[in-house]
Every structure is written in C-alpha cells, then in structure tokens.
Amino acid sequence: MSHLFRRICSAVVLAAFLPACSAFRSNTVPFTVTADPKDAEIYINGTAAGKGTAERAVLRDTNVQVLVRRDGCDPTSRTIGKHLSGIGVLDIIGGCLILIPFIGLATPGAYDLDEANISVMLTGCKTVASEEKGSPTK
C-alpha cells in the first residue's frame, strides 16, 4: 500500500509543477529589426540598437517600441505587442485542475511577442539624383 501511495504522491507533484513551465522560461526573447535603407538608424525601446540590422534581447511580457530613421527619409515607428503563449494556456488548463500552475501566469514566460523579427522600409527618402534635379544650376 505504501508503494502505491508514493506513486500517487509523485504523480500529484508532477502534475502540479509540470504544467507551470512558463515560470521556468526565459524572461527575454531575441528581437531583430531589419531596416531598408541599410544605413537607417534603429532604436529599440528608445535605445540606439544599430544601423541596418539590429538584434536585442527584450522582455517577452512587455510591448516593444521600434523607431527607424535616416536623414532625408520619413521616420517610421512601430509597437510590437504581446500575447499569451501556448505554455501560458497550458498553465491555465493545469491551474483549473490543480491551483499551482496559475503561478506561471504571473511570470514573463507565459507570454510571447506578436513578432520577433520585423522589417521596416522607410518611405519618402530623397535620393541623390532627385536632390540634384531639384537644385538650381548656375
């Protein structure tokens, strides 16, 4: 009887903690921005991240603000949202059966970004040829 009791206790403990795996996921996720033209400045969450292509680790449970700009072009900004991940959904299901998995919903691991890789093409860019055509000749 004690062997059966140990197995049942082990199964209950595993069932309680395995669905809450979002608590064990990383708080950050790699986020990549590719800009066109390649010399455009990229800002992620207000911090300069590079030119052309930039990658940063960002928190998975917060919106990401992206700004891409270049002299002679219209600046472009985007906000990337977040959503409940599949693992977060499993935490909800597991929490309905045993309350402990609900803990995972309070952690960043329960969420994912709507997009992890974005491309931004700047518009309204003045080219060298168009600047030369518009300048008066002497």
Cβ 19 vs Cβ 91: under 8 Å: yes
Residue in the structure block whose two tokens are 């917060």:
62
Contacts of residue 2, defined as CB under 8 A and 6 or more positions apart, other chains included, come to: none
User: What is the helix, strand, coil percentage profile of the chain, to 5?
Assistant: 35, 35, 30
Dist. CA 2–CA 8, nearest whole Å:
10
Dist. CA 99–CA 117, nearest whole Å:
35
Where do the structural domains in the chain lie, given as residue ranges? Answer: 16-123
| Stated pTM of the model | 0.74
Q: Supply the pLDDT for residue 118.
A: 97
Which pLDDT tens digit goes with each residue over 51-64? Answer: 999 999 999 999 99
CB count within 10 Å of CB 109 equals 23
Instruction: Choose among 23, 20, 27: nearest CA to 82.
Output: 27
Residue 2: both structure tokens together: 């004690």
Which pLDDT tens digit goes with each residue over 88-111? Answer: 888 888 888 777 778 888 899 999
Cβ 49 vs Cβ 56: under 8 Å: yes
